[in-house]
A and B are shown apart, each in its own frame.
Chain A
Amino acid sequence: MPSQIVSLVVNGERREFIAVPGATLLASLRESLGLTAAKRGCAQGACGTCTVLVDGRPEVACLVAVETVAGREVRTLEGVAAGGELDEVQSAFVDCFATQCGFCTAGMIMVAEALLERDPDPSEEDVVEAISGNVCRCTGYRPIVIAILEAARRRRAKSPQEEAVAR
């Protein structure tokens, strides 16, 4: 099977690259596109460190064959900080001490972004459910859950009108 040219919309930009047969979305992002925020913790769908958003949904990029998502919208952590400003999730992770070694952080933040996109006012249970596919070995999950709830609060505080519409 020959390599093929794959095109994705990554963080809002159309990117084209050559993918060898069987190349994963994770390998394509990291090796072909130089986007290394998503991490390889296990390469077998078990840890969530490679999580990115495909059309807004969290996916473990290590299990996605890149040709199966050709043409789709992919969002990585690199696409989150607009103009160098931290967004609410990122700043809450910093302020709530939700990152230690940082290896799980990209996956955790992407899952949180997808959750808050879907539900601006999640319960603690919703957050726990959302990060249930993401392993953190250092921080402990509690500060991460708190950070995501805090991010939701900050985002709601920032856009009360939007929240009113959402309700």
Chain B
Amino acid sequence: MTDRLAPTYRLAPIDTSTFADERAAAGTGVDGGGDFTVIGSVVQRSDARGHVTGRTEFFEDVAPARLAHLKMHRSDRHHARILDVDLSEALAVPGVLRILTHADIPNNLYTPLKLIGVGPDDEPILAVDKVRYLGEPICAVVAETEAAALEGAARVRVAYEDLPPVFDVEEALKEGAPLVNEYHGQNHFIYEGHHCRRIRFGDVEAAFARADHVFEWRYQSAPIEQAPAETTGCVVVPQADGRLRIHSDTQACFFTLDNTALILETPFNKLRIVGGTVGGGFGGKVDVVVEPVACVAAMATDRPVKFVYDRAEEMQVSSPRAAERIYIKDAVMADGRIIGRKVTLYVDAGAYARHTPYGTTKAAAHLPGPYSIPNVWADCHCVFTNRTPSSAMRGFGVTIADFALESQMDRIARALDLDPLRLRLLNAYRDGDLKAHRKVAEGTALVEVIQKAAEMAGHELPEAYRRMSSTTREGL
């Protein structure tokens, strides 16, 4: 018999010698004889057995008796005034128990980051007089069966007066652009009185005047849907003591509990979240979008209620990674030293803030990349448009910035016919450097990482570059 697993298909065995030095240095672990024995050993996931036997309980696996189903009637316009909502046909659908509108939500206006002091409240749980993106929830149909809820939702009639939409971040910031979100009053988030998150360090204009070369390129990303295998949803079960038990696949149990309590205008201890089992999230399950309305539905009907997105809703209305547009202009000397970097970043929040003001701040904190550049100027705009609200996704704010920054580095290297690794080694930050945010860099390791990567990839570096270190500015 031939062993088809060998050699290309076999998992590389975990090399337990990898961290032997560290363990020895710490005087603990397998080699040191202490009880710190995790590094270098194979540790199984605690939930793997449940997963492979089908016993892991996801929120949708709970099936309380008398479960009612909630489906949303959503905006079919990008931007429109709501003139009238007619529920009569929907209410006549057999099995429909109740239809919730904004008037049923105790505190209909929220923003998820209010818990850390971010404002203003800018998003209705259910639309009031206007819709600002395609798929915005308008009313929630609660019914005996999923089919009845769907049919009811399809029979809600909304009369609209269309408003001009704006879909482009730079268009949205122009004079005379349609106003997307009245709660902000302009199409961008305000950071402590400023129109954007800013970095001002040194004098970039002087650097451009002095530079041997100036390179300016534009980078752009599309929104990216997290597309978890399990869609967003919850099952809310009223308890005998008047509390609500919320089974949810949120990635943020306490954050959801607190926001939901604020929206319901109820003390936090009236809610209990059962969660922690998430069928993939990747940041897409941190907005508090299903629990509040499902709680109101459960209270209004005194029945357990399930509100779960179907796949189309997950793709269309769950908040994606924000689209970004980034302009980077660099002042570069003939030897590859970057002496100035100017970045203008536009992050598309969509119609509501959600987590994007924070994501934009993270992007600003990430600039100008892991390089010591003496003159840096950045304007990072969090812009409102009539697109699906964007929010968290793995490294939001930094991932797209990195794509742009490192593409920029490669393009500069190509334009100057320089080795891209040497270009980075030349500009990499060192311990003790003052970063553009006026923090002193500590514990930097970019130089060593590049050297090691070059070695592993068989990429030759001259002796001077191999001798560089993160702890000194020698050789620069």
Interface residues of A (CB under 8 A from B): 30-31, 34, 36-44, 46-47, 49, 76-78, 80-81, 86, 89-91, 93-97, 99-106, 109, 121, 123-124, 135-138, 143, 145-146, 149-150, 153, 156, 163
Q: Could you give, for residues 8-38 of chain B, a 1 whenever the CB lies within 8 Å of some chain A CB and a 0 otherwise?
A: 0111000000000000000000000000000
Per the 8 Å Cβ criterion, residues 379-401 of B in contact with A are: none
- Verify A149–B280 contact, CB threshold 8 A: no
A149 & B4 in contact (Cβ 8 Å cutoff): yes
Q: In the complex, are the beta carbons of A39 and B4 less than 8 A apart?
A: no
Whether the pair A96, B229 counts as a contact (CB closer than 8 A) is no
CA gap between A93 and B53 in the complex, in Å: 11
Q: Is B85 an interface residue (CB 8 A)?
A: no
Q: Are B50 and A102 in contact (CB under 8 A)?
A: yes
User: A90 to B226, alpha carbons, bound, how many Å?
Assistant: 27
User: Which residues on the B side are within 8 Å of A76 (C-beta)?
Assistant: 54
Q: A31-B63, A40-B60, A99-B52 are in contact. Are A137 and B228 (CB under 8 A)?
A: yes
Nearest to A86 among chain B residues (CB) is: B52
* Other A-B pairs beyond A86-B52, A101-B228, A101-B281, 12, CB < 8 Å: A41-B231, A47-B311, A77-B52, A77-B54, A78-B54, A80-B53, A101-B230, A102-B47, A103-B228, A124-B4, A143-B11, A150-B11
Check if B63 sits within 8 Å of A43, measured CB to CB.
Answer: no
Question: Contact partner of A41 among B47, B54, B229, CB < 8 A?
Answer: B229
Question: Are B9 and A81 interface neighbours, CB within 8 A?
Answer: no
Please, which residues of chain B bring their CB within 8 A of the CB of A78?
Answer: 53-54
Chain A residues positioned under 8 Å from B310 (CB to CB): 43
A126 closest partner in B (C-beta): B4
Give the residue of A77, A104, A146, A163 whose beta carbon is less than 8 angstroms from that of B229: A104
For B9, B10, B44, B226, which residue has the most chain A Cβ atoms within 10 angstroms?
Answer: B9
B261 interfacial by beta-carbon distance below 8 Å: no
CB <8 Å contact, A149 and B9: yes
In the complex, the chain A residue whose C-beta lies closest to that of B61 is A36
Taking the closest CB of chain B, its distance from the CB of A25, in whole angstroms, is 16
Residues of B within 8 A of A96 (CB): 11
* Cα distance A106–B9 in the bound complex, in angstroms: 23
- B354 vs chain A, min Cβ distance (A): 21
For the complex, give the distance between the alpha carbons of A143 and B58 in Å: 23
- Give the residues in chain B near A97, CB-CB below 8 Å: 45
Say which residue of A34, A81, A103, A145 sits within 8 Å of B230 (CB atoms). A103
Expressed in whole angstroms, the Cα–Cα distance for A162 and B173 within the complex equals 71
Per the bound structure, the CA–CA distance linking A44 and B5 in Å amounts to 35
In residues 268-327 of chain B, which contact A (Cβ within 8 Å)?
A: 278-282, 310-311
Task: Looking at the assembled complex, report how far the CB atom of A85 sits from the nearest CB atom of chain B, in whole angstroms.
Answer: 10
Known: A36-B61, A49-B229, A101-B230. A42 touches B311 (CB 8 A): yes
| Chain A residues, CB < 8 A from B282 | 137
- Cβ-defined contact, B229 with A103, below 8 A: yes
Query: In the bound complex, what is the Cα–Cα distance between A41 and B54 (angstroms)?
Result: 15
A58 CB to closest chain B CB (Å) equals 15
Q: How far apart sit A47 and B311, CA to CA, in the bound complex (Å)?
A: 10
Say whether B49 contacts A94, CB under 8 Å. Answer: yes
A94 engages B44 (CB within 8 Å): yes
Q: Are B3 and A153 in contact (CB under 8 A)?
A: yes
Query: Once the chains are docked, how many angstroms separate the CA of A121 from the CA of B1?
Result: 10
Most buried by B among A47, A93, A103: A103
Q: Are A94 and B230 in contact (CB under 8 A)?
A: no
Cβ-closest 7 pairs across A and B: A37-B54, A102-B51, A103-B279, A77-B54, A36-B61, A90-B52, A103-B229
CB of B56 within 8 A of chain A?
A: yes
In the complex, per-residue mask of B50-76: 1 if CB is within 8 Å of any chain A CB, else 0: 111111111011010000000000000
Taking CB atoms, residues of chain A closer than 8 Å to B44 are 94-95
Which residue of the partner chain A has the closest CB to B50? A102
| Distance in angstroms between the alpha carbons of A47 and B229 in the assembled complex | 8
**Which B residues are CB-close (under 8 A) to A47?**
229, 311
**Would you give the shortest CB distance from A52 to chain B, in whole angstroms?**
11
